[in-house]
Structure 1
């Protein structure tokens, strides 16, 4: 067994890398590339996201669980690996063929068609995505080094080959090649430990049903922000897709640093339930949830009041119109954070994942209906689609609460009292920001005045909150 502390550190560093590098390359790309062509890239990136789940067929999550159970049986590991690899290869080939048939018939600007074909590399490369083997084998140190190498390669390549506003094709090619190299590195590394063997048709039939079930569970979330982007890609201007994407990336890159704390406690919560220590379980949920909400609530309120500042710093003045989307995404992160606690630490840990999947589809269905209404009446602004997702997610949270209370999974009163206090305290940030802006108004351009305004606002809000 690998050292769990080393694994934890490697996993943490990998998360940091995956957050820091986009915050470096994102502002550069947003400033360099033409707004319309960058919008085309985001449309294409959204489109391939529709195909990738069908190419992988839930194998990632299923593979980690299956290999973890068979670690001591080399023959069984080879059988499971071969079985899942063959299924992935078949699904990837079929999905890629369907992808080309659809994109070949689609109309659009020549550069958009070119992007569709280049990004197909990422769809076809999915059969090489066997990172689930490395995770099951706890090869987190390798994953860390590989991630660092790929990220540095991407960083150097982007600064070398993406220099003009029309370099969207080189950028898309670099992103696709980086994905391919990432998968190839993992594939050749794990092949040192496993070998291909023959499999029987009955084995294939036995895993198809659980794979489809996991596919549905893992991708139910696509009915929310991903669905919004699909609608925008179909009916809106390309730059509107970029506004939505930039806002989502900016907010969740920052929130993601803290949200990882929720998943860390899940094994310990499962342990307490396993030994029937309900008091320890309740205490950890309430204590962890209180600390989590204490940190993430002011963070997102702060990002909301500084939405224009953050947008200009991250993407440049040409994307200032995305600031309202950043504002909405920041406020959306408050109920999203509460949902993480309810769904991951309570509902999922206590074995109600089937109910949770049903709730996801109910909320996703509402989002689909609301998005369809917006599209039918010709509304294409991204902020409206963010609002529909917020409404759908609030419905899911309400269903979560009903399930928890009905089955008496935990007493939520303490958690909600503290969360309500943090929201109330953080609301004062709007008054603080209003006073600072009234005393010394600034223009939304990157200069010393903007940075001073951000610094004074953050310091004032921290002093007030603490």
Structure 2
């Protein structure tokens, strides 16, 4: 990977970790103060709000990032596209808010919460992260958001004291989203130009955004609908609470893997515009290798440390989340691979149809599995359904690119990571069960797991590890000379 790609990966990884890790700083506190029922209630109402957020955004995030990437070096054209997409989003968000206001009137029990969460939908009017991502300027995104996120954390610790403070907690989360998006506008004048006598063409963006909108709706079915279905099929918000917290832990780890996709989409889009398919495939093979090298140990690591992590991190009230964390962990590998194939290859090369079909198939699989498994297995049923759905999406996408990517070659070069990861899991899980749950023991177990994994790779002479070591040696040699 070029230096800019590596740096952008680091910046975007920092940003994505910021979005999830900072709320997770409050998770041990919130788990104890609000409890499973209140957290489950928030997760359920948030799942409903997410549908309307998706409706309002209509696929503009990925589409905008791609289109800005196509015109990175054309200030006039990228400014025109930005204005058009902002106007389109204003219209779609207004329609979404109108429908939302009508629908949530039917939820008597949660009506006050839905009123507050209207802010979430409105906040997306000001979301222009896709513009900076398209320009591959990830540093700006992190710098502007970090202050807002820290303020929200301070507010949580200062004002949230009991389950009765749930509405205030939701308000803090919603306002942090709004002000975080608004902060992105401060530096915007430096990247756009004045449009004089330029006709804005909003209509031309409707069809391509809708093409990307449908797979996002499909994805939401197996990432959000599970929470809704647990409530509808069981009426048990505590189960949603267990499920939500387990998902948070796994999604934090998943961020390390999927951040590469956000960085590579604009880079590959730019290469596709230059008709450089050879370089695109080179990047894809590198991405797959990188994803497998880190996704596999993260998956086994999360499975292994769950018994030691959950009791102190979420509190003993969430012991039911331990098996959910362990069962959810495989999605780290499945989503990691589908992120490379779908986000880094299919979308930038304008193969939206295959991407859309994969997500639709995944949503259908998830819906069927949820209906079959949730009534009997509750949150575990939703967890199993999600894993099966993600596996089906990955399998279908691999089938779609079989003529472009040598799958056998990828498997042959990366299968040893599974064996090494399994060896690491055995040691990590044994330590996790044997040692008393505590932050120090969890950190110790993680350290042992990391050492075992990379030492074995070094012994096996993994070429990727040796490449990294050689790069570090070369840089140290240059600095010392």
1:400 matched to 2:400: no
CA distance in 2: counterparts of 1:160 and 1:413, whole angstroms: 54
Of 162, 165, 181, the match for 1:164: 162
Rate the CA distance shift 1:346–1:204 in 2: closer, same or farther, 3 A.
Answer: closer
List aligned pairs for 1:44-443, cutoff 5 A: 44-67=45-68, 69=71, 72=74, 74=76, 80-108=81-109, 112-136=110-134, 140-187=138-185, 189-190=187-188, 203-236=201-234, 237-261=236-260, 264=263, 267=267, 271=271, 278=278, 285-348=284-347, 350-374=349-373, 378-379=375-376, 381-405=378-402, 408-432=403-427, 436=431, 441=434
Rate the CA distance shift 1:462–1:27 in 2: closer, same or farther, 3 A.
Answer: farther
- Using the size of structure 1 for normalisation, the TM-score is 0.83
Report how many aligned residue pairs link the two structures.
451
- Using the size of structure 2 for normalisation, the TM-score is 0.80
Contact 1:290/1:419 (8 A) holds in 2: yes
CA apart distance, 1:264: 4.3
CA distance in 2: counterparts of 1:209 and 1:170, whole angstroms: 39
CA apart distance, 1:304: 0.6
CA distance in 2: counterparts of 1:434 and 1:208, whole angstroms: 50
Rate the CA distance shift 1:123–1:380 in 2: closer, same or farther, 3 A.
Answer: farther
CA distance in 1: counterparts of 2:420 and 2:251, whole angstroms: 22
For 2:416, what is the secondary structure of its paired residue? helix
CA apart distance, 1:34: 2.8
CA distance in 2: counterparts of 1:181 and 1:12, whole angstroms: 21
- With 148-157 and 132-141 compared, the bigger mean Cα shift is at 132-141
CA apart distance, 1:8: 6.2
Rate the CA distance shift 1:166–1:198 in 2: closer, same or farther, 3 A.
Answer: farther
Rate the CA distance shift 1:104–1:272 in 2: closer, same or farther, 3 A.
Answer: closer
CA apart distance, 1:351: 4.4
CA apart distance, 1:269: 9.6
Cα deviation, 1:335-393, whole Å, max 9, x if unaligned, reads: 33333344345544554331121121122112112222345xx3352121121222223
CA distance in 2: counterparts of 1:291 and 1:7, whole angstroms: 15
For 2:319, what is the secondary structure of its paired residue? helix
> Which residue of the partner structure matches residue 38 of structure 2?
37
CA distance in 2: counterparts of 1:269 and 1:194, whole angstroms: 23
Contact 1:366/1:392 (8 A) holds in 2: yes
CA apart distance, 1:41: 1.0
For 1:379, what is the secondary structure of its paired residue? helix
Contact 1:258/1:296 (8 A) holds in 2: yes
> Which residue of the partner structure matches residue 27 of structure 1?
28
> Tell me, which stretches of 5 or more residues in structure 2 are unaligned?
459-481
CA distance in 2: counterparts of 1:196 and 1:115, whole angstroms: 41
Contact 2:295/2:336 (8 A) holds in 1: yes
CA distance in 2: counterparts of 1:291 and 1:65, whole angstroms: 23
Cα deviation, 1:218-275, whole Å, max 9, x if unaligned, reads: 4432121222122123233112112222122211212322333455456369749966
CA distance in 2: counterparts of 1:13 and 1:151, whole angstroms: 13
CA apart distance, 1:298: 1.9
Contact 1:285/1:345 (8 A) holds in 2: yes
- With 187-196 and 148-157 compared, the bigger mean Cα shift is at 187-196
Contact 1:251/1:329 (8 A) holds in 2: yes
Rate the CA distance shift 1:282–1:48 in 2: closer, same or farther, 3 A.
Answer: closer
CA apart distance, 1:20: 3.2
CA apart distance, 1:285: 4.0
Rate the CA distance shift 1:365–1:302 in 2: closer, same or farther, 3 A.
Answer: same
For 1:306, what is the secondary structure of its paired residue? helix
CA apart distance, 1:105: 1.7
Q: CA RMSD in A?
A: 3.6
Contact 1:81/1:196 (8 A) holds in 2: no
Contact 1:426/1:465 (8 A) holds in 2: no
Contact 2:17/2:255 (8 A) holds in 1: no
- With 162-171 and 82-91 compared, the bigger mean Cα shift is at 82-91
Rate the CA distance shift 1:32–1:434 in 2: closer, same or farther, 3 A.
Answer: closer
Contact 1:286/1:414 (8 A) holds in 2: no
> Tell me, which stretches of 5 or more residues in structure 1 are unaligned?
none
Contact 1:225/1:386 (8 A) holds in 2: no
CA distance in 2: counterparts of 1:295 and 1:70, whole angstroms: 30
Contact 1:82/1:197 (8 A) holds in 2: no
